[in-house]
A and B are shown apart, each in its own frame.
Chain A
């Protein structure tokens, strides 16, 4: 199996395990401001995706990502199917020549663009876009401006996504099921932003273990690309 393909298969399995263990937490978040199906949908969809990609014969990364997306589309009965799954299918051709710094940035940007288009959501709407946007912008800047390795950049992106999740708490929802609640959505953390963070954390773990040799690991993990604690919109 291609080493990168195997790494992506491992990442899908790690995401599936994580979402299974976060199932009730995500459902609790979604119960507060949504329809209480996010934990079950994500856990079921990613478990099915993990099974599907495990059956691929010596896959390349793009094929693993596309199969994951298609499985989510058919298994997840809700917005998570088109948003997470459809966007993975759409962005997967960016990885056709394997995972490099450039292709990873292109993949991340295409994925974000599709999520925004499909959901018609922007930063501040209290959706997964609030975690994804600062993450993708930080990833791109870290690779292209700060010259970090993709794995170092991903670590920065995960931190940015975490701040994005925190940012969803005090704001009022204007997209998705939570928008029906208006001001009553204030004070609750967005479940889609939260699951997006969990997925990215697992990608980082697997990428750190499998895509980068130990001597390339960041020796100064504290060096910030953006000031910690600030909103990363630009």
Chain B
């Protein structure tokens, strides 16, 4: 099963987004990660790498990210990790919900889950 990682500058935000996505995600493994490791805001490549490893069951991982350094640190984490992992270029919450649903499909792959996550870019709310 394809796993998900939710990266935010705020550990609380990451956990909350994972919670919202998890409601729709069935058995999908969703790992939240965020914060600078010192109790402040930020993202740390090593911590994201650990989350990618934790989310991977062998079928790969799709990573959702919020701003700036979350993108860069997720890229570094993916380069360091042995898991097959990709970043979905999507709004973090809507993308996570979409991806979590897509991951429950028996035919889900890293690419199909990423595509569904990225489909959230076009979502209109009003």
Determine the distance from Cα of A97 to Cα of B53 in the docked complex, in whole angstroms.
34
How extensive is the interface on chain A, given as a class? 20 to 34
Q: Does A94 sit within 8 A of B, measured CB to CB?
A: no
Do B46 and A119 have beta carbons less than 8 Å apart? no
A218 to chain B: which residues have CB within 8 Å? Answer: none
Query: Chain A residue with minimal CB distance to B80?
Result: A73
Most buried by A among B46, B67, B73, B75: B73
**Can you name the residue of chain A whose Cβ is closest to the Cβ of B37?**
A77
Contact A74 B41 (CB under 8 A): no
B46 touches A37 (CB 8 A): no
Report if B16 contacts A (CB, 8 A). no
Interface of A is mostly: helix
B60-100 vs A: 1/0 string, CB under 8 Å? 00000001110011011000000000000000000000000
A118 at the B interface (CB under 8 A): yes
B45 contacts A74, C-beta separation under 8 Å:
yes
B72 and A118 contact, CB distance less than 8 A: yes
Residues of B within 8 A of A35 (CB): 41
- Minimum Cβ distance to chain B for residue A113 (Å): 15
Check A74–B40 contact: CB distance below 8 A. Answer: no
Complex CA distance for A119 and B38, rounded to whole angstroms: 24
Contact yes or no, A82 B41, CB < 8 A: no
Give chain B nearest CB distance to A37 CB in angstroms. 7
User: Given A77-B36, A77-B38, are A82 and B46 also a contact pair (CB < 8 Å)?
Assistant: no
CB-CB under 8 A from B3, the residues of chain A are: none
Least CB distance from B42 to A in Å reads 3
Given A78-B36, A78-B69; A73-B76 close (CB under 8 Å)? yes
Cβ contacts A to B, 27 pairs, < 8 Å:
A37-B36, A37-B41, A37-B42, A41-B36, A41-B42, A73-B45, A74-B44, A74-B45, A76-B44, A77-B40, A77-B43, A77-B69, A78-B36, A78-B43, A79-B69, A81-B43, A81-B45, A81-B69, A81-B73, A81-B76, A82-B45, A82-B72, A82-B73, A86-B45, A86-B72, A118-B72, A118-B75
B: residues with CB less than 8 A from A are: 35-38, 40-46, 67-69, 72-73, 75-76
* Residues of A near any B CB (own CB < 8 A): 35, 37, 41, 44, 73-83, 86, 118-119, 176-177
